[in-house]
Structure formats: C-alpha cells, structure tokens
C-alpha cells in the first residue's frame, strides 16, 4: 500500500495504508505514524491529529523531539547505568562481604532496585538520572537485603555501617520518586 509523508501545524506525520478496519496512531521519534485503510480521507486524519495535538506534542517532547527536530538526545540508559552501577556493586560487595548471585537491569516505574530471596539484584536503568551518592545508597540498600530480607532495625544498621548518613540519602531519594 502507499505511504504518505505530510505535515500539519508543524506536526510531521506519515500515513501507512493497510487493509485494516480501524485507524491507529503511534508517536515515533520525531513524527506521528497513522495506520489506516485506503478509505480514510486525509481530512479525517488531519482532524484526528489536531484533536490529539496536545498529547502528541507531549509525547514528542518526552522523546526529546519537537516539531520534527532533535532538541536533546536522552542518554542511552541501557549502556550508561551498568557502567555506573556495576563498579559500585563490586566496591560495596567487598566492603560489606555481601555478593549478589546475579545482577540485572530493567526499566521500572516504581522501584530503584530489588533483591530476591535467591540474592539476585535488579537495578532500575533510570538510576543514571540520580546523583552518585543516591546511586550508592540504592546499591548498599540492595546489598544489605542479601543479609536481611526485611526493613527492620538490623537491616538499617547494616546500611548505616557503610553509609552513616543513610537517613539523609533516603530522604533525598524521595525527591526523585516521581521522575519515571
């Protein structure tokens, strides 16, 4: 089927014609892709885009694209976060004598890290957005869960052995909770 590239009110969009029943819209890097069948008029598509203009611009801006031009490229968290976190895990594992069975990373919307009962630690890729002292706190926090699978006094004492200012770091981390 034919593909058309167009622009309306500085929003670039591409129409992909397919034998489908509905109209689908996806905000991509710098443009909007509209998938629809050959019977949907260009006028209808443009009205649809304008109706959703605010949410489209928010999504384009979130991807650091605006009006089809790259403004600022977000760091590649999948590459950057392990470069920061893994040396800290190595350092604090030696200091604390606590070693994870496995370390992995994922994008998470509610946690900076977690430690399983099998001592496998998962870190959030978005840790790279934090100041280094807060990344250290998350690393020490999760390593402490290898020894203490709870948040009772003995757990916090373990964290405080390495980070005496744990309460300040914990309080400062809360400022970043809504950044996902």
- Per-residue pLDDT reduced to its tens digit, 55-91: 888 777 665 444 444 444 567 889 999 999 999 999 9
CB 40 within 8 A of CB 49: no
Other Cβ atoms closer than 10 A to 14: 15
pLDDT digits (tens, 9 = 90+) for 7-56: 888 888 999 998 888 888 888 877 899 998 888 888 999 998 999 888 88
- Phi and psi at 107, nearest 5°, equal -80, 125
Considering the domain architecture, whether residues 117 and 132 belong to the same structural domain is answered as yes
Radius of gyration of the chain (CA): 23
**Single pTM value for the model:** 0.61
Considering the domain architecture, whether residues 83 and 170 belong to the same structural domain is answered as yes
Residue 110 lies in a domain: yes
Considering the domain architecture, whether residues 45 and 117 belong to the same structural domain is answered as no
Considering the domain architecture, whether residues 97 and 64 belong to the same structural domain is answered as no
Residue 179 lies in a domain: no
Considering the domain architecture, whether residues 54 and 107 belong to the same structural domain is answered as no
Count of helix runs (H) and strand runs (E) in the chain: 6, 9
Domain-ending residue, one of 37, 54, 70: 70
Starting from the edge strand earliest in sequence, which strands make up the sheet with 120-124, in order?
A: 102-106, 120-124, 113-115
Residue 180 lies in a domain: no
Torsion from C-alpha of 91, 137, 149, 108, nearest 10 degrees: -110
Q: Cα angle at 110 between 58 and 159, to 5 degrees?
A: 135
What is the domain extent for residue 146? Answer: 77-174
Q: What is the pLDDT confidence band of residue 99, given thresholds at 50, 70 and 90?
A: very high
First to last CA, the chain: 38
User: Is the pLDDT at 109 greater than 80, yes or no?
Assistant: yes
Residue 166 in 3-state DSSP?
A: helix
CB 32 within 8 A of CB 14: yes
Residue 53 lies in a domain: yes
Torsion from C-alpha of 79, 84, 90, 91, nearest 10 degrees: 170
| Measured distance CA(81)–CA(96) in Å, rounded | 22
Considering the domain architecture, whether residues 49 and 84 belong to the same structural domain is answered as no
Bridge pairing between strands 102-106 and 69-70: unpaired
pLDDT at position 64 is 46
Quick one: which of 99, 82, 81 has its CA closest to 90? Answer: 99
Domain-ending residue, one of 21, 43, 70: 70
């Amino acid at each position: 089927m034919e593909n058309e590239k167009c622009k309306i009110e500085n929003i670039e969009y591409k129409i992909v014609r397919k034998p489908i029943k509905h109209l689908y819209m996806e905000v991509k890097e710098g443009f909007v892709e509209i998938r629809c069948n050959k019977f949907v008029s260009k006028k209808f598509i443009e009205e649809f885009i304008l109706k959703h203009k605010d949410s489209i611009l928010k999504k384009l801006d979130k991807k650091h694209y605006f009006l089809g031009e790259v403004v600022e490229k977000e760091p590649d968290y999948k590459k950057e976060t392990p470069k920061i976190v893994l040396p800290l895990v190595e350092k604090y594992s030696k200091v604390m004598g606590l070693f994870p069975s496995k370390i992995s990373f994922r994008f998470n919307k509610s946690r900076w890290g977690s430690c399983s009962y099998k001592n496998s630690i998962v870190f959030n890729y978005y840790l790279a957005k934090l100041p280094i002292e807060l990344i250290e706190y998350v690393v020490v926090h999760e390593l402490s869960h290898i020894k203490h699978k709870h948040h009772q006094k003995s757990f916090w004492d373990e964290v405080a052995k390495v980070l005496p200012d744990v309460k300040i770091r914990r309080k400062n981390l809360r400022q970043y909770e809504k950044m996902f």
